[in-house]
A and B are shown apart, each in its own frame.
Chain A
Amino acid sequence: MNDFKTNANWTASVISDIKKQAETGGMLLTGMGNPSPYPNYWDRILLDASQVTNPSIDPLREPMELRTFLGRKSSKLEKETYPQLELSTPIMFSAMSYGSISLNTCKSLAMAATDSGIYWNTGEGGLHKDLYKYANRAIVQVASGRFGVHEEYLRAGAAIEIKVGQGAKPGIGGHLPGEKVSKEISETRMIPEGTDAISPAPHHDIYSIEDLRQLIYALKEATDYEKPVIVKIAAVHNSAAIASGMVRAGADIIALDGFRGGTGATPMIVRNHTGIPIELALASVDQRLRDEGIRNDASVVVAGGFRSSADIIKAIALGADSVYIASSALIAVGCTMCQKCYTGKCAWGITTQDPELVKRINPEIAKKRLNNLIRAWSLEIKEVLGSMGINAVESLRGNKERLRGIGLNETELKILGIKHAGE
């Protein structure tokens, strides 16, 4: 890499990418989320703290509540509520399929979600028979390939997620190469062994919002209206309008995935250039749902490159009910962000099906590390809530008064709905 002469435009990676494509005639593939130096708004938002007029609260001495419910709530109190997911802390593991990651990694996530009182997500990989015992903490995904979707699967999960899009590859389907489709994966996904598992770019039964409504209600019918239905989209330019339509179409939870969200495999062109930052999408979606008076009708979950509890706190104050994490969860169990997931040769045994490599993940140890991460971040969220003089997470949700922008222009502040530091 260092052999090339320094050049701001023709960088080493630009030159080597061109050479690679000249040799292969193919698209460039890559893994994980957008690594380009686009603005990261979390780093330009500061938190407030209490001084004098409202005492800060010491989480060691006073209760500090993070319990979170996800699902539809009507705006006026009723005798019953729609089905809800109950989280001990506003964090969940985002969708990662068995296939894109190893069974040992799936097990680690499932066990940690169960221990921590949060949820994990099957992605479009179906639910392996060994994982049914963790199904009451699973969000089962229905994506465009419908792999592994059957009645027992839908009924087993705590919630059902229709995946329309993913932040790392908006508008793009999925591709699990045949060599990764082992016997176990073929059984779980219900496809022949050794065949490519190709998820179409769109759902071929969803070409419009009314089609989405039909699928949402088909899934609710299939599960007796006992489970919340999540609809997940990639954060794109008109997310706010789409989100409003999704809520009106019957989604109980909407999940937005920003362009820093990870993936096992994606064309580099799409990963690096398509979509928008989750910060902006979240602020505009939350405001739009409020303007239309339908914010209570659905919970908002955001994903896309949450690196720390600080990012999570800021997301909640911007209006999120909960976040999805995946890249940081994988880092907790070994990932070093080499972005080679698509090769199937993950040295940490995470994004590989090679039995020799998969052995490198010990689910018991990985589970402990994931539990530690959730615990550590929850402690930090409590500490910050206390510093703000707040003792329940619901008082932070959408509380933009406790955020200030730093070094942001007026348009950015307006979209985020926050004041500049010093104001």
Chain B
Amino acid sequence: MILNKYRTEKDISACGLFGFINEDGKRQNGEIARKAMALMRERSNGLGGGFAAYGIYPEYDDLYAFHVMYDDEKSKERTEEFLSKNFIIGKDEKMPHRHVNAIKTHPLLWRYFLKVKEHKQDLAEIEEKDFVVKTVMQVNSVLEGAYIFSSGKNMGIFKAVGYPEDVADFFKIEDYHGYIWTAHGRFPTNTPGWWGGAHPFGLLNWSVVHNGEISSYGANKRYLEMFGYKCTLMTDTEVVAYLADLLMRKHQISIEKACSVLAPRFWKDIEGMSEKEKKEHTLLRQYYGSAMLNGPFAVLIANEKNLIGVNDRIKLRPLVAARRKSTLYIASEESAILEVCEKPDKVWHPKAGIPTIGTLKDK
């Protein structure tokens, strides 16, 4: 916080992003992400912070890990009754957290490790993951006071209203060890600062942290609704998570192509491509025009294998990348990377609309 001579706060903030992937699979605790975010404290305003980490639940890696926030005991009972109809609950527990001065109140936070029950006849056709998506959508849109904010396997999302470093302390993220971490500090403008509205947003193994505003939200939301995704979280970022799921999981499109859907090449650039590329990009724009993200954004998308950083088509929000050996870092500011990696081999500024991708090496 910068105080002027009248000791009033000067507004110079925006959202801050940080993420890294150890492509060799080495797991590290949340301290790195916490430290990087603390350096970018100026980019958030205390109304939301969060972390996503991959590889944190190896002992339960075949079970879906649901992180859920409840308004009260009643919504918890209702949700558990609903979940137990179709899931075997392998383990459920209060999410570990400690008291932090900066976080005065919090919802009930519960964690479940789940398996889909042997399908009854009527569920047999639905692919298991689609069924999990449907369950998450149902709980979040229909069951009052309950919000599933993490639903992948061997990964988890931790988020709250607060500065990122307070959120890290609250959830004891130093106890979790992951090979991919993403983190976010929020400066909400269009939507209220509520726990569910903090980033990352997740669905299955996808997690998204986002700095920006999606001016095409109305078009994206109505497009996603046709595929059964319900946008209920009062924020534009959730469409990025659902688009990632639709494009890369359901439609099996490569990461590069999916990023070209989110931030399409300009027609003037497509004109100059080889015939093959021209056709590919034209097809993507013809099919997925309604999935294009318009407006200023820098976004980190992660799943169990990849960390993807991508900007809007004219790079209206900052994104910097660096590499040291098998670790790829992507952040809003170079300083955040240097804070946790003193001597990177290479630092660069990804071009508008061109994704930066780190991928876990096959063992």
Q: Answer yes or no: B86 CB below 8 A from chain A CBs.
A: no
A90 to chain B, nearest CB (A): 12
Cβ–Cβ < 8 Å partners of B8 in chain A: none
Per the bound structure, the CA–CA distance linking A65 and B266 in Å amounts to 8
Complex partner residue of B226 from A57, A63, A290, A400, CB under 8 angstroms: A290
Complex partner residue of B316 from A52, A55, A317, CB under 8 angstroms: A55
State which of B68-76, B98-106, B279-287, B342-350 sits at the interface with chain A. Answer: B279-287
Q: Answer yes or no: B225 CB below 8 A from chain A CBs.
A: yes
Assess whether A50 is in contact with B226, with CB atoms less than 8 Å apart: no
Complex partner residue of A77 from B217, B287, B313, CB under 8 angstroms: B287
Q: Answer yes or no: A340 CB below 8 A from chain B CBs.
A: no
Assess whether B284 is in contact with A395, with CB atoms less than 8 Å apart: no
Assess whether A401 is in contact with B251, with CB atoms less than 8 Å apart: no
Q: Answer yes or no: B294 CB below 8 A from chain A CBs.
A: yes
Per the bound structure, the CA–CA distance linking A50 and B287 in Å amounts to 27
- A286: nearest residue on chain B (CB-CB)? B222
Assess whether A81 is in contact with B295, with CB atoms less than 8 Å apart: no
Assess whether A399 is in contact with B316, with CB atoms less than 8 Å apart: no
Assess whether B190 is in contact with A53, with CB atoms less than 8 Å apart: yes
Assess whether A392 is in contact with B296, with CB atoms less than 8 Å apart: no
Known: A57-B314, A76-B287, A389-B215. 6 other contacts (CB 8 A): A55-B316, A81-B283, A391-B313, A395-B216, A399-B218, A400-B222
Per the bound structure, the CA–CA distance linking A398 and B289 in Å amounts to 11
Per the bound structure, the CA–CA distance linking A53 and B313 in Å amounts to 17
Looking at B222, B257, B268, B292, the one whose CB has the most chain A CB atoms below 10 A away is B222
Cβ–Cβ < 8 Å partners of B216 in chain A: 390, 395-396, 399
Complex partner residue of B215 from A73, A84, A388, CB under 8 angstroms: A388
For window 42-67 of A, CB contacts with B under 8 Å fall at 50, 52-55, 57, 62-63, 65, 67
Cβ–Cβ < 8 Å partners of B250 in chain A: 76
Q: Answer yes or no: A155 CB below 8 A from chain B CBs.
A: no
For window 269-318 of B, CB contacts with A under 8 Å fall at 283-290, 292, 294-296, 313-314, 316
Assess whether A63 is in contact with B283, with CB atoms less than 8 Å apart: no
**Which 7 interchain pairs have the tightest Cβ spacing?**
A401-B218, A394-B289, A395-B216, A395-B294, A399-B218, A54-B213, A399-B219
List 9 A-B residue pairs with CB atoms under 8 Å apart, sorted by A's residue number: A50-B295, A54-B296, A65-B266, A77-B288, A389-B215, A390-B216, A394-B285, A395-B215, A397-B219
Residues of B in contact (CB 8 Å), total 38
Q: Answer yes or no: B264 CB below 8 A from chain A CBs.
A: yes
Per the bound structure, the CA–CA distance linking A88 and B217 in Å amounts to 24
For window 273-297 of A, CB contacts with B under 8 Å fall at 290, 293, 295-296
A148 to chain B, nearest CB (A): 32
Q: Answer yes or no: B82 CB below 8 A from chain A CBs.
A: no
A46 to chain B, nearest CB (A): 15
Q: Answer yes or no: B4 CB below 8 A from chain A CBs.
A: no
Cβ–Cβ < 8 Å partners of B266 in chain A: 63, 65
Per the bound structure, the CA–CA distance linking A331 and B326 in Å amounts to 66
Given the known inter-chain contacts A55-B316, A293-B226, A391-B294, please indicate yes or no for A73 contacting B218, CB distance below 8 A. Answer: no
Given the known inter-chain contacts A77-B288, A398-B219, please indicate yes or no for A54 contacting B295, CB distance below 8 A. Answer: yes
Assess whether B286 is in contact with A397, with CB atoms less than 8 Å apart: no
Assess whether A394 is in contact with B292, with CB atoms less than 8 Å apart: yes
B57 to chain A, nearest CB (A): 32
Assess whether A81 is in contact with B215, with CB atoms less than 8 Å apart: no
Assess whether B218 is in contact with A400, with CB atoms less than 8 Å apart: yes
Per the bound structure, the CA–CA distance linking A74 and B283 in Å amounts to 11
Assess whether A389 is in contact with B296, with CB atoms less than 8 Å apart: yes
Assess whether B222 is in contact with A76, with CB atoms less than 8 Å apart: no
- A74: nearest residue on chain B (CB-CB)? B287
Q: Answer yes or no: A348 CB below 8 A from chain B CBs.
A: no
- A77: nearest residue on chain B (CB-CB)? B287
Q: Answer yes or no: B121 CB below 8 A from chain A CBs.
A: no
Q: Answer yes or no: A75 CB below 8 A from chain B CBs.
A: yes
Assess whether A398 is in contact with B294, with CB atoms less than 8 Å apart: no
Cβ–Cβ < 8 Å partners of B217 in chain A: 399, 401
Given the known inter-chain contacts A54-B213, A399-B218, please indicate yes or no for A390 contacting B295, CB distance below 8 A. Answer: yes
Assess whether B287 is in contact with A73, with CB atoms less than 8 Å apart: yes
Q: Answer yes or no: B267 CB below 8 A from chain A CBs.
A: yes
Complex partner residue of B267 from A65, A78, A398, A402, CB under 8 angstroms: A65
Assess whether B218 is in contact with A398, with CB atoms less than 8 Å apart: yes
Per the bound structure, the CA–CA distance linking A378 and B224 in Å amounts to 29
B249 to chain A, nearest CB (A): 12
Per the bound structure, the CA–CA distance linking A404 and B284 in Å amounts to 31
- A385: nearest residue on chain B (CB-CB)? B294
- B266: nearest residue on chain A (CB-CB)? A63
Assess whether B218 is in contact with A402, with CB atoms less than 8 Å apart: yes
Assess whether B295 is in contact with A62, with CB atoms less than 8 Å apart: no
Q: Answer yes or no: A153 CB below 8 A from chain B CBs.
A: no
- B253: nearest residue on chain A (CB-CB)? A77
Cβ–Cβ < 8 Å partners of A73 in chain B: 286-287
Q: Answer yes or no: B227 CB below 8 A from chain A CBs.
A: yes
Q: Answer yes or no: A69 CB below 8 A from chain B CBs.
A: yes
Cβ–Cβ < 8 Å partners of B213 in chain A: 53-54, 389
Assess whether A390 is in contact with B288, with CB atoms less than 8 Å apart: no
Per the bound structure, the CA–CA distance linking A402 and B216 in Å amounts to 9
For window 230-278 of B, CB contacts with A under 8 Å fall at 250-251, 253, 257, 264, 266-268
Cβ–Cβ < 8 Å partners of B190 in chain A: 53
- B283: nearest residue on chain A (CB-CB)? A81
Assess whether A397 is in contact with B313, with CB atoms less than 8 Å apart: no
Cβ–Cβ < 8 Å partners of A54 in chain B: 212-213, 215, 295-296
